[in-house]
Amino acid sequence: MYRLTAAQITKLTALRHELHRRPEISGEEVHTAERISQELRALGADRIWQGLGGLGVAAEFTGAKDGPTVLLRCELDGLPIREMSELSYRSAIAGKGHLCGHDGHMVSLLGVAMGLATRPATGRVILLFQPAEETGAGAKAVIEDPQWAEIRPDFAFAYHNVPGRPLGEIGLRSGPSNCASRGMKIRLEGKSSHAAAPEDGLSPGPAMAALMAALPKLSHGTIGDDDFTLVTLTHAALGEAVFGISPSDGEVWVTLRSMTNARMDRLVADAQKVLEEHATGLAVERSWHDVFLSVVNDEETTALAQDVAIGQGRSAVDMTVPFRWSEDFGRFADAGVKASLLYIGAGEDHPQLHNPDYDFPDALVPVASELFFGIVTHILGRPRG
């Protein structure tokens, strides 16, 4: 079984702390991408792609003989959230933080790269450092990039750390595992008037109030049901902050969430009907943002990952309940790749993802690196050399 040395773990931990200090949000990961590229060059990757899907980086490690391609994927981006901690390596960028653990996911893949100094027996390994996961745009952009044709794998694996689960526990689930979601931004425009004569204008206020009441009622069922939906009001704004004007414009933002992509299609149609019913007489502009497909894990690759985890003596559990949060890794399965997203416990009392005091547990780096390396070995054969 491949194990990182104490010196390697120390180096990877220091690199994570370095990345943690300089978070870059979706679409801005210039420094992060270059720093990762430097490390991959130093680790002797056979080929490196840059500018993939925007700012993504991928590295190839080629085996001795032809065989399948295994892709391991992590994320480059941080979040537009102010970190609140006393860590010596806390974010030095105002209003931005690695508060989802992508810094830890990155160095976990670099830990795999350290082991790939001795190449796999067959096939090739692609390590993908993907941009813009937090907005749902990154995986789609990578797959639509012309360079994807040179990379396209047979199998793809990724992981996410999960607060609330025992530290180092490997969670697995076949089928729908993370919800599809998308943001619906509704802009309404009527006609302003003096606040003393609102009847001479057309305020979007009543329509906004109706929409804010009606759209959440499209929520249905419980997580795990194919028919599960959740509609969450996230933002609303009406007119200007003044007392003398009856407003002319307003916005309502909601997030639509479903267990399956097919159910999302129906939810989108239902939300559109609600909008048409309650916004009569107003000019309406509707747009979609942060579009995530459902993560649907392949049965074969999930079982393979479970066998590897058990063979390494790790706690491996079936996740009976899927997750309500979204992950754009679902795009890879949608592109025809046998793909599985794994879940590694970050600690039962660990701060939640996207909390201002969240920090990735360094103890997970060897767990994830060794698990991924074991998956590679299982598919491509033991390294040579």
For 352, half-sphere exposure in the C-beta direction (CA atoms, 13 angstrom radius) is: 3
Domain annotation covers residue 1: no
Convert the pLDDT of each residue in 14-24 to its tens digit. Answer: 999 999 999 99
In this structure, the answer to whether residues 264 and 336 fall within a common structural domain is no
In this structure, the answer to whether residues 359 and 259 fall within a common structural domain is no
In this structure, the answer to whether residues 190 and 163 fall within a common structural domain is no
**Per the structure, how many domains does the chain have?**
2
In this structure, the answer to whether residues 42 and 107 fall within a common structural domain is yes
Domain annotation covers residue 69: yes
Which residues, 6 or more positions from 350, have their beta carbon under 8 angstroms from its beta carbon?
A: 163, 164, 167, 358, 361
Residue finishing a domain among 252, 271, 292: 292
Burial letters 207-246, b for 16+ CB under 10 A, else e: bbeebeebbeebeeeeeeeeebbbbeeeeeebbeeeeeeb
In this structure, the answer to whether residues 92 and 241 fall within a common structural domain is no
In this structure, the answer to whether residues 22 and 165 fall within a common structural domain is yes
- Tell me, what's the pLDDT at 385? 52
Domain annotation covers residue 97: yes
Which residues, 6 or more positions from 112, have their beta carbon under 8 angstroms from its beta carbon?
A: 72, 125, 127, 369, 372, 373, 376
Across the strands, what pairs with 155?
70, 338
In this structure, the answer to whether residues 126 and 275 fall within a common structural domain is no
Burial letters 166-189, b for 16+ CB under 10 A, else e: ebbbbbbbbebbbbbbbbbebbbe
CATH number at residue 142: 3.40.630.10
In this structure, the answer to whether residues 132 and 45 fall within a common structural domain is yes
In this structure, the answer to whether residues 67 and 128 fall within a common structural domain is yes
Q: Alpha-carbon distance 261 to 257, whole Å?
A: 10
Q: Is residue 116 within 8 Å of 125, Cβ to Cβ?
A: yes
User: pLDDT by residue for the chain (385 residues), tens digit each?
Assistant: 899 999 999 999 999 999 999 999 999 999 999 999 999 999 999 999 999 999 999 999 999 899 999 999 999 999 999 999 999 999 999 999 999 999 999 999 999 999 999 999 999 999 999 999 999 999 999 999 999 999 999 999 999 999 999 999 999 999 999 999 999 999 999 999 999 999 999 999 999 999 999 999 999 999 999 999 999 999 999 999 999 999 999 999 999 999 999 999 999 999 999 999 999 999 999 999 999 999 999 999 999 999 999 999 999 999 999 999 999 999 999 999 999 999 999 999 999 999 999 999 999 999 999 999 999 999 999 765 5
Domain annotation covers residue 348: yes
Residue finishing a domain among 292, 312, 335: 292
152 is written with which tokens? 């396209």
Vertex 86, ends 82 and 88: CA angle to 5°? Answer: 105
- Tell me, what's the pLDDT at 382? 78
Calculate the CA dihedral of residues 218, 221, 223, 225 and round it to 10 degrees: -110
Vertex 302, ends 298 and 304: CA angle to 5°? Answer: 125
Q: Whole domain around residue 332: which residue ranges?
A: 6-178+294-380
In this structure, the answer to whether residues 342 and 357 fall within a common structural domain is yes
58 is written with which tokens? 């991928």
In this structure, the answer to whether residues 111 and 12 fall within a common structural domain is yes
CATH number at residue 238: 3.30.70.360
pTM exceeding the 0.85 threshold for the entire prediction:
yes
Domain annotation covers residue 385: no
In this structure, the answer to whether residues 65 and 163 fall within a common structural domain is yes
Residue finishing a domain among 247, 266, 292: 292
